[in-house]
Structure 1
């Protein structure tokens, strides 16, 4: 925790200093004028408890005293003089390069925080990490060679920590690899492009500029990657990506041997074909990522030590083989067999990805589903060089435009049911959601999911389709896939901040659907911090005109969200006898808790079964109607348990049956039960004994497993006291 506050202090000073260096002399006067105007006119400052116009004006006055114009060296001296007394920031002269990891501690902290899948951020890791890296470079006055090297090493450490991770079932390796091979190269692109744009802007204004800045940055990047080869302990690839690293090494060997590099060759190259002394490592993957981003050229293959095997050791027997992506690009149809092969092998170029996207847009119904499967496969998870394009294509496909000739009264989305379901199932994994979040496209994903939820949640489950595999999919399945995915994008099961803190939260402090839409609209309008990048994504995501969307466009979703917030903020009430909602509640209780009905029926299981079957037939209702009734069903079930009319085991079985019948109900079960446990209204129910065996026999094994995990971390703990786990 102490390191967290230290890092925050470093960043706060670094951001201040970086702002002073970033704003060019030609813009500084205009910037100061705007600050002074803000100090006088801002109503927020006048009403703030923590600031005032006088304090802000004094800060502006102090800022004006910095001699920025033509005196950058003096600024550095003043800044470091302020930091000197008792400073916790190590001097760059004392810690050169990567030898002092504390210089880059904020990067490590950011990387770990970005891996946390509990709350998916709505901001872009590329932009945030760009600011951190530039700030630390300015603060420590390091060469860009050292800064880039520190960035690569910090991210490689992240991957190495994950390769032997033993805590929790949540996969993070693909997310870590995304950070190393997709996000970090794009951060470097940001840094170089921003410097080039600044130089061009000053040149257009007739000011004297150094045209060699961008070339210098690229040379520093090259030297950092060359030195990175000395850190062998960090370069061993995790087992799942070892074959991809081998292919990257093979590609360099093929170039040096004069062979043409084809994806068909690389797809067919196995580890048995590789020379014994030429296994690929993480640096090979990093270099390939940088070449794909035009940060390097293929002269990197000639670096000393980059290729260890002799070029005459390359197997040539499969050089002419055409498989996988090469076959598709040569005109082969997208059959199920080829689709399965492409789904397990990432596209190597944007042209290959665009070919699949074209099929997903204009192919036959079966081809569209096959193309969706390919896009959500290896190209999304491990196609690091084209990953952001894959995400963008998937988001566009989730929002298909209305056909020009469409004249139906229902939404045109209904006809896309099986296609949309394939996409939704393909991106439902936790690590995929994290990958999308690292690219800053969670708000766009939320904007695509809300119309799907609104439309398919209003359909009867009698609307169904048959997939090419023979599987039946109805509107409830499509809705459940979209709805549960949407809920992963914010802390949907947390009570509103104003209910727990006793105060109105700041804008954006409580993640919500409204906030995600606000960020989405802002991104498409190009109002983000990195406008060039947002304009590029805006053009891809939603061709002009891009209209903003709001919660009022989704009345069913908005109604459910209000009920959901009310249910987790206070005890449930308000069910009226004889209403449609009450009738749905009764039908759900009849279906789920058959034993509760045996007294009213004839007492036989067959009678109970027929009652349940009748209840299922009565529940051929739109998803939104069932969601509205679910909190009352859960409340009735808890009440029955409290009065010993329903056993805890039957309650658990009923919840499982409910999730099988209607998967979207899991969200309501989670949030409602969590709220009830927090409120402490219900007494604990005993679940041991004849129905549920006592765990006492397994406690010794559990204790051994806990001690083994702790020992792996280097922590020695005594044996647990008898009965401590009971």
Structure 2
């Protein structure tokens, strides 16, 4: 290595001597600079020295001795730069290092240097030409200006050197101006103090040269690159220019003060020029103008220009689906959606927030006449409006004044929408309280204390109070014009007639039954009350602890919207009584046992549909799952007392605590579904993401590690009993049961359970279902079970830990079903026995559901007749119930046949009949909420897994049992056809498009002609409605889409629907313009803008439908499978170029909007990223790699070339315009291929804009693109 270094130094030294001698020889032969440079060039080339020569540049600059520098030498330097004997950028870099620090002593040299900067600073070297000495030139520039060290560049090339050189020269000249103005700002190593008065003329010249550089279009591109890739450095330059603007008056006349101001304006224009030039593109500009054509919101309207904001409505309606639990907080998801729609619609923040509030109000109004049943009620809809929406706005307006002003304005304008502000009768009192609070505040400010004022309130007053509670606005809102409307007609409100129960509680009143009831139905007025409740629940007496936990899960959690997030976190925290991290297993178990009564009450209260739904809205499902697991492990390992008979809600036992915790844990994930590795490799199974316990724990561990890096993770391996059951459950789903040997302890437990439930035959009087002579332990024929019920004398109840009971129950079920199938056990006794098992250990319901669900999918059990004798009969209302289902679907545009004509005998597989018969034996009060959450999902899953339509029978029988739930059951049954009929799913998708956008023709969808937008999609908002309402297509889709068997098919249908509408719009465009079907001059711009506006509406709806149906995985399928398949294997459209262009645009919008709704427009919180945007880089990167291959001609699409080019231009343009951060994850190779392809298509501006956003690695590519223009 040392030898090579010495050789290099010798050769460099020899080269320098050779160049110096030739330089002197040229001086002897010719004196004129031009002739001298030509002679020098000839001499160097004869010696084999390549040009431009970095050594010559260094020799020339070193020859400039300030004591005797001559004009001829400067002129020679100028000629050498002009004739490319030396690289101008290298000369300027070397001169900058040498001249600028001496500018005050050597004003003449500094002025000559400035002239060279004026001429050559932005003169880019030619790219594509081989320059042998390029690396030496780059190294010389880097060393002269210390670029690598200053900007942290690891590898320097010519492109990076040019960009950083321009920026550094501007910064150095600005610093020199500041120093000359007497403001020593940010001195560098090249600056030295001096007492010599600076030359004002040189200072002004430097300022003029900086201005000239900045107004250069190429330099502006470089500045944009710095602002994108090095924002701190760029902001530092802007600060310098602002200081110049403030101090330039110290040395110059007023006429030149505006120079710095002009430079700041120019820089600002440079930053937005890339966007501006795309917006002004003759053809592409209309694509990126996504701002609604009529962005003003009509007064007193329930829609308020809702078409472009429909994702808000879709999000909120989807959030109300109680069947689907969310692992990411709705707050984070909505925050990202707000940012996305504000960017996509190019809206102001006031317009964005106003559209958000209107969507929330529409969502509340849709719940006014909600059917009765175990689904989230109106309180949950108000939670979204008054808690989720304000909390999602908080991170957007913090420390951003213009956004906060937009929020205030949006709230002030809400009063125009009176139709949406009318509160539900149940909440009129709360609205009046909020309005009266403002009136009292104003009276207090005026010094008026008597009488207490009263005011009429509406939903706006509740929204304002929720916003004040989150510090989004302050109490100045009370003084808005028209906000307080005094009223003398209001009756005495409860809150004014007597003291709140919370006042007594905070005053020290003990918790009694009456006080508990009052506190449970009254939301807490502040967080202080919740904190006191939490401490009582954790440390109070055995009587007060359960009371406090029940109160926390009451109105304070369900409708305490102003502080709901605090109540939610306290409830979850109560599940994990404080224990040391290093506590032993026995200590932890004792801690849980000491809180057994509190946990029993807490878990039973948490089982309600509303509570689980609110926990889901706040994204706390992973944390709840992790907190429930140690409870299950601890109490499932304890034996009950010997006198235990059944679990009653009013009693506390180890079985009851375990069962409530276990069933709540299982509600959080699809425990009855097969694990992913056992799924059949169908398309739909691979695209839908189902929650699993492992996945929930991974999410929980990731979140905890963000807040506390030292926190210990939780894995299922930490809970051996739960883990054993978890794998047994998966085995039960995936395969039939294996037999048991008589030596297995489960053999004995199973017989004990059978003895407890059914009296056996034979002299022993026991039900021994396992053959003692069978070595494999398989069931030997028909188990000897009789149909008589058990008595306490005839059996012994097992007093075993719950885990041992659960392990044996599948074998008990197999024996019982087999006996029933062979006629050895009547259906009534089977049902009664199953109910006894559930009463004894409620957690066994989960095992029953798992086993029956698995057996249904195997199809090995014969059907049974529901004749009303052996099994309950739905005949009384089955036909009418089936017709009602058909009518509801027809109202939503879906036509399905009746499954059960009048007179037919209904049948069900034995397993469904047994499960159904069991479920209708349960009571329907709040004490059984912990079971209802399991039963509903189980019945729907079993019915959809059956080989024939079973849901109408299930619904008819349940409707007989619970008449008040008739409409809820009916609507639940409308989801069943979509699980097996792809045509029904396609009809529903088509109906959604028609109701939202209008019919494709006058003969299609006449029912939806007058209803479009959000009202058409989700139904009109009316105050007075009848008891039965047809279901709107959008509502039915939101609650049914997760039941679609093949969700790949959904993406294909949505894809084709959007293409069909694009073709019709193309026909209308051609007819309206009366010309050849292609985009021409500005005369057709308005017509094209109108067509594209409708395309955006359809793609926005389609993207929302795909996202709520399959989430990130379906969007991945759209990018990686659906789009490439239809592009390469679809049919070519030969009707005209306009068809291809609009179809290409439509596909681009669909893919882009789908990606934005899942991945967001910029950086997102980690919890959101893990679930939604973690695969964005891979999916988006692969997609553009595929696009690049077609652009290069490696793949040949079947569609029209015009359609393909339209897609590429539109999609890339949308990404550049709205989500530039996506581009930075792409490989430089992919970006370069796309940029070259765009240049070949005569789109240099789009190509350059793409390269600009590709990150630091693309700096050289940008410079190369500029040098070729």
Give TM-score scaled by structure 1 length: 0.76
In the alignment, which of 349, 359, 377 is matched to residue 526 of structure 2? 349
In the alignment, which of 229, 235, 238 is matched to residue 424 of structure 2? 238
Deviation at 1:141, TM superposition (A): 1.2
- Provide structure 1 residue ranges, at least 5 long, that are not aligned to the other structure: 1-28, 34-63, 197-213, 266-272, 527-534, 539-543
Q: Say whether the 8 Å CA contact 1:464–1:474 is kept in structure 2.
A: no
Q: Which residue of structure 2 lines up, in the alignment, with residue 422 of structure 1?
A: 601
Q: Which residue of structure 1 lines up, in the alignment, with residue 67 of structure 2?
A: none
Q: Say whether the 8 Å CA contact 2:757–2:837 is kept in structure 1.
A: yes
Superposed, which structure 2 residues align to 1:314-393 within 5 Å? 321-393=498-570
Q: Which residue of structure 2 lines up, in the alignment, with residue 531 of structure 1?
A: none
Q: Say whether the 8 Å CA contact 1:344–1:377 is kept in structure 2.
A: yes
Superposed, which structure 2 residues align to 1:271-670 within 5 Å? 278-310=455-487, 321-402=498-579, 410-462=589-641, 471-502=650-681, 509-526=689-706, 535=707, 546-594=711-759, 597=761, 601=765, 615-617=795-797, 619-670=798-849
Deviation at 1:142, TM superposition (A): 0.4
Distance 1:282 1:316 in 2: 18
Deviation at 1:94, TM superposition (A): 3.3
- Report the 3-state secondary structure (helix = DSSP H, G, I; strand = E; otherwise coil) of the residue aligned with 2:499: coil
Q: Say whether the 8 Å CA contact 1:145–1:220 is kept in structure 2.
A: yes
Distance 2:319 2:154 in 1: 34
Aligned residue pair count: 617
- CA 1:502–1:710 in 2, change beyond 3 Å: closer, same or farther? closer
**685-694 or 132-141: bigger deviation:** 685-694
Q: Say whether the 8 Å CA contact 1:461–1:620 is kept in structure 2.
A: yes
Deviation at 1:129, TM superposition (A): 1.0
Question: Per-residue CA shift, 1:339-371, capped at 9, x if unaligned?
Answer: 221111011111121122222233222222221
Larger Rg: 2
Question: Per-residue CA shift, 1:296-340, capped at 9, x if unaligned?
Answer: 112212222322224897969985943311122222223332222
Distance 1:139 1:349 in 2: 38
- CA 1:470–1:183 in 2, change beyond 3 Å: closer, same or farther? closer
Give TM-score scaled by structure 2 length: 0.45
Distance 2:456 2:586 in 1: 58
Distance 2:573 2:616 in 1: 16
2:458 matches 1:253: no
Distance 1:496 1:75 in 2: 50
In the alignment, which of 291, 296, 312 is matched to residue 96 of structure 1? 296
- Report the 3-state secondary structure (helix = DSSP H, G, I; strand = E; otherwise coil) of the residue aligned with 1:685: strand
- CA 1:65–1:688 in 2, change beyond 3 Å: closer, same or farther? farther
Distance 2:612 2:565 in 1: 13
- Report the 3-state secondary structure (helix = DSSP H, G, I; strand = E; otherwise coil) of the residue aligned with 2:522: coil
Q: Say whether the 8 Å CA contact 1:588–1:615 is kept in structure 2.
A: no
Q: Which residue of structure 1 lines up, in the alignment, with residue 328 of structure 2?
A: 123
Q: Which residue of structure 2 lines up, in the alignment, with residue 15 of structure 1?
A: none
Q: Which residue of structure 1 lines up, in the alignment, with residue 406 of structure 2?
A: 220
- Report the 3-state secondary structure (helix = DSSP H, G, I; strand = E; otherwise coil) of the residue aligned with 2:804: helix
In the alignment, which of 347, 361, 365 is matched to residue 142 of structure 1? 347
Q: Say whether the 8 Å CA contact 1:381–1:432 is kept in structure 2.
A: yes
Q: Say whether the 8 Å CA contact 2:440–2:453 is kept in structure 1.
A: no
- Report the 3-state secondary structure (helix = DSSP H, G, I; strand = E; otherwise coil) of the residue aligned with 1:163: coil
Distance 2:333 2:483 in 1: 32
2:372 matches 1:162: no
**483-492 or 107-116: bigger deviation:** 107-116
Distance 2:489 2:864 in 1: 72
Deviation at 1:700, TM superposition (A): 5.5
**620-629 or 572-581: bigger deviation:** 572-581
Distance 1:314 1:249 in 2: 14
CA RMSD of aligned residues (A): 4.1
Q: Say whether the 8 Å CA contact 1:597–1:608 is kept in structure 2.
A: no
- CA 1:580–1:89 in 2, change beyond 3 Å: closer, same or farther? farther
Deviation at 1:508, TM superposition (A): 11
- CA 1:125–1:499 in 2, change beyond 3 Å: closer, same or farther? same
**244-253 or 711-720: bigger deviation:** 711-720
Distance 2:762 2:508 in 1: 63
- Provide structure 2 residue ranges, at least 5 long, that are not aligned to the other structure: 1-150, 156-223, 232-267, 298-302, 768-784, 907-1269
2:856 matches 1:677: yes
Q: Say whether the 8 Å CA contact 1:162–1:173 is kept in structure 2.
A: yes
Q: Say whether the 8 Å CA contact 1:376–1:427 is kept in structure 2.
A: yes
In the alignment, which of 863, 877, 882 is matched to residue 698 of structure 1? 877
In the alignment, which of 312, 316, 319 is matched to residue 111 of structure 1? 316
**143-152 or 607-616: bigger deviation:** 607-616
Distance 1:31 1:484 in 2: 57
Question: Per-residue CA shift, 1:3-58, capped at 9, x if unaligned?
Answer: xxxxxxxxxxxxxxxxxxxxxxxxxx99999xxxxxxxxxxxxxxxxxxxxxxxxx
Q: Say whether the 8 Å CA contact 2:442–2:478 is kept in structure 1.
A: yes
Question: Per-residue CA shift, 1:49-84, capped at 9, x if unaligned?
Answer: xxxxxxxxxxxxxxx989847555335446768995
Distance 2:458 2:679 in 1: 50
Distance 1:107 1:316 in 2: 35
- Report the 3-state secondary structure (helix = DSSP H, G, I; strand = E; otherwise coil) of the residue aligned with 1:681: coil
Q: Which residue of structure 1 lines up, in the alignment, with residue 376 of structure 2?
A: 171
- CA 1:219–1:599 in 2, change beyond 3 Å: closer, same or farther? farther
Q: Say whether the 8 Å CA contact 1:592–1:612 is kept in structure 2.
A: no
Q: Say whether the 8 Å CA contact 1:181–1:286 is kept in structure 2.
A: yes
- CA 1:510–1:699 in 2, change beyond 3 Å: closer, same or farther? closer
2:269 matches 1:74: no
- Report the 3-state secondary structure (helix = DSSP H, G, I; strand = E; otherwise coil) of the residue aligned with 1:361: helix
Question: Per-residue CA shift, 1:247-302, capped at 9, x if unaligned?
Answer: 222222222333999xxx9xxxxxxx996xx5432211111100100111122122
